[in-house]
């Protein structure tokens, strides 16, 4: 469904798209009901490398800091 908050978040993350893989989850689908129950009032929600990072909007500094840490671990 249309999600302006999600669209805005994707725009903010656009410059970083070569550094991570974005996996979108539609929480309105029946198979994602656990995510819906947990986050229905908190979209968008961001996980990085399987760990909760932030919700509602992108904190670009927090995102960059965690992304750099992951990149350094993988080098």
Contact 3, 9 (CB under 8 A): no
Whichever domain contains 19, its CATH number is 3.40.30.10
**In total, how many domains does the chain have?**
1
For 34-68, write each residue's pLDDT tens digit.
999 999 999 999 999 999 999 999 999 999 999 99
Q: Which of 66, 72, 34 is nearest to 52 (CA)?
A: 66
Q: Compute the distance between CA of residue 2 and CA of residue 62 in angstroms, rounded to an integer.
A: 26
- pTM for the model: 0.86
Domain that residue 14 falls in: 4-73
- pLDDT class for 75, splitting at 50, 70, 90? confident
Q: Say what the pLDDT of residue 32 is.
A: 96
């Amino acid at each position: 469904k249309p999600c302006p908050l999600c669209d805005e978040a994707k725009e903010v993350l656009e410059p970083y798209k070569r550094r991570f893989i974005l996996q979108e989850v539609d929480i309105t689908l029946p198979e994602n009901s656990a995510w819906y129950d947990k986050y229905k009032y908190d979209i968008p929600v961001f996980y990085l490398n399987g760990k909760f990072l932030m919700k509602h909007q992108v904190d670009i500094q927090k995102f960059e800091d965690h992304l750099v840490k992951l990149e350094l671990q993988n080098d």
